[in-house]
Structure 1
């Protein structure tokens, strides 16, 4: 009788259609997205302070929360979904609950599903971004990434998959894991294929430059231009912001340095915004040219009014710039939420 009753409870719970549609489009990855960025973690050298953990072991709670996540697992990876086991541990902070729903530890890899749910308002939405604030304490050296899988609007709940890889191709053999988050961004706006300038040859370009310490970079040919030994490089000296269609980002420079086209944007107090994007050059036939590499640097890093600069560099001769128009893709955040969400649980290898 209990088995039949529990089956009826399970059968009545399904993920939202919006959640299913989003997951079935994986592994689509936004070109300027942040959700899949890998982070590296060294084993902790100290003991964490006491963490409030709620163990949701009652069968009704399991029926209410686990089946929808379990269905989501089958959509993402049917071949491994059956190996995930319930964890059901959560932490409440600032009216928002973070829950570790299930985990699958196999070989040198740990896959963990977590949810974040707003119990008091509408701070969580389909654009939620953990803003690289998440951290892991594990008893081994590792790398990890956190990927947003979907959002259930009715429950105001977002689902993430955390994948942890132990270094050295060594099996994860027990111990405890602590996952914690300090902040997140939400209510983002996305701007696709925005025309910035139809005629680049008509822009008032500048080649005034400065040497700065960079704090990061990327792009397909980054390593061809920037070596690990480079501490300072030449970038455009920021000018007064030009007219720009994206609120939250300033267009602070465009010009040539050493035969390469540099385009620069800036964002003030961006640690609580995460505003970002990239540019594309298009010729008259619609062919696209992306940057060879990009770099970032900071002005006034130790004050709230810090300014984060991003500079993209294109290998397009100045003699040909008249053949291109400038477009962009950008994301800006509308809400910043702080808290202290921490959950600890035991790593149990299934192999």
Structure 2
């Protein structure tokens, strides 16, 4: 009796022929791509195949408990990596519980509702933002995004909707998804249509400028004009004392090459995500948006990083006195870190 049960369980975790061939093929592809390092990479490739075979013959849960192994497997083959991940529909860390509450599949789209509940404090509220710290691992090519869709104050629970759209019209039912969150922001403050106490009629041509080295992006209709080689920015000055948004500093205003430049700064913004945008209003309330923005930092990874955002308006200096500066901003009051991970199959719901 015992032998029969053992054989039955062992057969359930043994790898199929297709899985073995896929594993070997993926390892060989990586080996072939490393042209100049073929000898140094040969052993890791073979070792990876050995790891996969051993895990297949043992128990799939082992791979999930060793994060580096899982990451290596996912980098080589998402299909194999997700095969080894055990189903775990809830996870708790740092007093916060993350749970899969529903999954709905229609055509090639999966919609999954995930909740995050604070079990001990009030760190989750109606402004909770996953802060781009989440990852969605799946064994098929697709696009995916996540958004907050609800909040229950009585239980301190925020609900997020994950939407995954498969690219190849593949039947995704039965595949497993792994959703991971590393941190989230909450207790945000929103400032809308705030008048900035700055007399634009006194703005003059900037005496000193710089070409920022550490660009980090930007946007706007004329953003292409701000390429890294030709972009010029104000040199940051002491923060304006009367700026109405706590957590964002106004560090420069001036004209460069006939255009109005406005510069803000946020210290240690990797743990805040404080942001916003400026616009001008004339005496009739008509809005003028910036032509483009570009961002740069004083340094990347060291403590004391400052993120600068530069807003450029294509308004002549002779006309700027007709306008007033306004802005919309969002600041974050709290960041909570942890390690939450759930793995679950995509299943059709019964009618």
Structure 2 partner of 1:250:
249
Matched, 1:325 2:324: yes
Q: Is the 8 A contact 1:108 1:169 kept in 2?
A: yes
The gaps in structure 1 that reach 5 residues or longer are 1-42, 55-88
What is the total number of aligned residue pairs between the two structures?
272
In structure 2, what is the equivalent of residue 8 of structure 1? Answer: none
SS of corresponding position for 2:161: strand
Q: CA deviation at 1:211?
A: 1.6
CA contact (8 A) 1:112 1:162 kept: yes
What's the CA shift for 1:174? 4.3
Counterpart of 1:236 in structure 2 is: 234
* Match of residue 114 from structure 1: 114
Secondary structure in 2 matching 1:322: helix
Q: Does 1:143 align with 2:143?
A: yes
| Cα shift readout 1:163-195 (whole Å, capped 9, x = no counterpart) | 122345655464221111100111111112211
**CA distance in 2 between partners of 1:169 and 1:233 (Å):** 44
Q: How far apart, in 2, do the equivalents of 1:216 and 1:278 lie?
A: 15
Alignment partners' CA distance in 1, 2:307 and 2:166: 33
Aligned to 1:290: 289
Residue correspondence of structure 1 range 76-115 to structure 2 within 5 A: 89-115=89-115
| Inter-partner Cα distance in structure 1 for 2:166 and 2:286 | 42
What is the Cα deviation at residue 341 of structure 1? 0.6
State the alpha-carbon separation in 2 of the partners of residues 246 and 52 from structure 1: 46
Indicate the SS of the match to 1:225: helix
- Partners of 1:183 and 1:337 within 8 A in 2: yes
Corresponding residue of 1:217: 218
Aligned equivalents of 1:156, 1:340: Cα separation in 2: 19
**TM-score with structure 2 setting the length:** 0.71
Distance 2:270 2:204 in 1: 30
Secondary structure in structure 2 of the residue aligned to 1:179: strand
Give the aligned partner of residue 45 of structure 1.
75
Match of 1:277 in 2: 276
Summarize the Cα distance change of 1:169–1:325 in structure 2 as closer, same or farther, 3 Å threshold.
Answer: farther
C-alpha deviation, 1:282, in angstroms: 0.7
Residue 23 of structure 1 corresponds to which residue in structure 2? Answer: none
Q: Distance in 1 between matches of 2:208 and 2:170?
A: 51
Deviation at 1:150, TM superposition (A): 1.8
Q: CA deviation at 1:51?
A: 7.5
1:110/1:258 Cα in 2 relative to 1: closer, same or farther (>3 Å)? farther
Query: Larger Cα Rg: Structure 1 or Structure 2?
Result: 2
Q: CA deviation at 1:330?
A: 1.1
Whether the 8 Å CA contact 1:107–1:349 is kept in 2: the answer is: no
After TM superposition, list the pairs within 5 Å mapping 1:7-22 onto structure 2: none
Q: Report deviation, 1:53.
A: 6.2
- When residues 300 and 95 of structure 1 are mapped into structure 2, their CA distance, relative to the original with a 3 A threshold, is same
1:44–1:138 Cα contact (<8 Å) kept = no
How far does residue 140 in structure 1 lie from its aligned partner after superposition?
2.5
Task: Name whichever structure is richer in helix by fraction.
Answer: 2
TM-score normalised according to structure 1 size: 0.71
Matching residue of 1:153: 153
Give the structure with the larger strand fraction.
1
8 Å CA contact retained: 1:300, 1:307 = yes
- Give the structure 2 partner of residue 127 of structure 1: 127
Could you tell me whether the CA contact under 8 Å between 1:279 and 1:290 is conserved in 2? yes
Which segments of 5 or more consecutive residues in structure 2 lack a partner in the other structure? 1-72
Q: Which residue of 2 aligns with 1:261?
A: 260
